[in-house]
Amino acid sequence: MHAFLVFLQQNPYILLFAVVGLSVWVGRWTIQGYGLGPVASAITIGCAVATWGAANGVEFTLDTFTKSLFYYLFMYGVGLRVGPSFINSLKGDGLKFVFLATLSSLLGLGIVVLGARWLVLPVGAAGGILAGSQTMSAAIGSAEQAITSGVVPIPPGSTAADATAMIALSYGLTYIWGTVGIILICKYLPRWWRVDARQAAQDYEREHGVPNVDDAGLSGYRPFDLRAYRVVHPDTVGQSIAQFRARFPQYQIENVERGKHLLGADPALVLQHGDVVALGGSLVALTDHMGSIGPEVPDARALN
C-alpha cells in the first residue's frame, strides 16, 4: 500500500485525474434526492486521499504552475457561465437580487473575520472558511496570493505552506455545508417561520404574469398549419382544385408544385400524380383525413 501511495506521489497528474474521475462518479450518487455533486465530491475525495497519504507518511503536492493554470481555467469557466446571467439580472427586479447578494457577501465576510479573530484561528483558516461557506472558490486564489505575496504576515513557527494547507483544509470542511446546508435551510426555514413557500411561489407567479410554469406562454401547438403532400391517392388524382375543395371544404390548397415549376392555386388547375400541394387548414382537419391526398413530404419550396 505504501508503494502505491509513493507511486501517486511521484505521479501527481495521475492522482489529479484519478480524483477528478472518482469525483464525477461519486457526484452522481444520490440518497433520497440529495447528492454531493462533482465539486463537493472532489473536495471530499481529495481530503480523504490526502489524509490517507498523510497517515502513511506520504505528502501529495502539485507544482505552482499547475495549480495556477487550473485555477484560472476555473475562473474563466465561472465568468463565462455567470457573466451573461449577471448582466441580464440587472433588468427589472434584478437590482433587488444584486442588493441581496451584496448584503449576504458583506455579512459572510464580516462573520468570518470576526469569528476568526475571536476564536484565534490559524493563518489561512479565514480564507478557506470564507471560500467554503460562501461556495466562493475564487477566494482561495486570493487568500493564497495574499499569503505568498507577504500581505498577510506569517507568525513565528509557521510557514507559508502551512497557511496554504490550512486554507485547503478549512475550505474542504466548510464547502460541503455551504452546498448542502443552504439547501436544507431553504427547505426547512419557511416551516420554522410558518411560511407556506408553495403558496408564496404561486403568488409571485401571479404577480409577475406567469400563471403557471407549465404554461408560460410558449407552446409548440398551432391551431392552423400549412403542410406539403404528394398527390398519389387515386380519388384525388385528376381532380381540379375546385373539385377538391368541394370534397374537403375545410382545406385550402395554397400552391401546387409540378416538377420544377410552381403553378399556384387556380381553381381550374387539375391535380396530377406526383404533384406536391401546399395544404392549409386547421390542425384538427389536417389530422382527421391523413392520406386523402398522399404522404406528407418535407418540401420547403412548395411551402414558400
Residue 119 pLDDT level (bands cut at 50, 70, 90): very high
Find the domain containing 15 and state its range.
Answer: 2-207
Q: In whole angstroms, give the CA distance from residue 167 to residue 182.
A: 21
Domain end: 207, 242, 270, which one? 207
In a shared domain, residues 128 and 235: no
Residue 155 pLDDT level (bands cut at 50, 70, 90): confident
Does residue 50 surpass a pLDDT of 90? no
In a shared domain, residues 79 and 185: yes
In a shared domain, residues 82 and 123: yes
Residue 61 pLDDT level (bands cut at 50, 70, 90): confident
At residue 217, the pLDDT reads: 52
In a shared domain, residues 41 and 142: yes
Higher pLDDT, 180 or 8: 8
Higher pLDDT, 97 or 126: 126
Domain end: 153, 177, 207, which one? 207
Residue 92 pLDDT level (bands cut at 50, 70, 90): low
Residue 219 pLDDT level (bands cut at 50, 70, 90): low
Count up the domains in the chain and report the number.
2
Dihedral sign computed on CA atoms, order 99, 100, 105, 108: positive
Q: Is residue 216 part of a domain?
A: no
In a shared domain, residues 85 and 18: yes
Higher pLDDT, 212 or 43: 43
Ramachandran category for residue 274: left, alpha or beta (phi over 0 → left; psi -120 to 50 → alpha): left
Going by C-alpha positions, the residue among 291, 196, 188, 204 that lies closest to residue 248 is 291
> Nine-digit cell at 72?
484560472
At residue 68, the pLDDT reads: 79
In a shared domain, residues 168 and 241: no
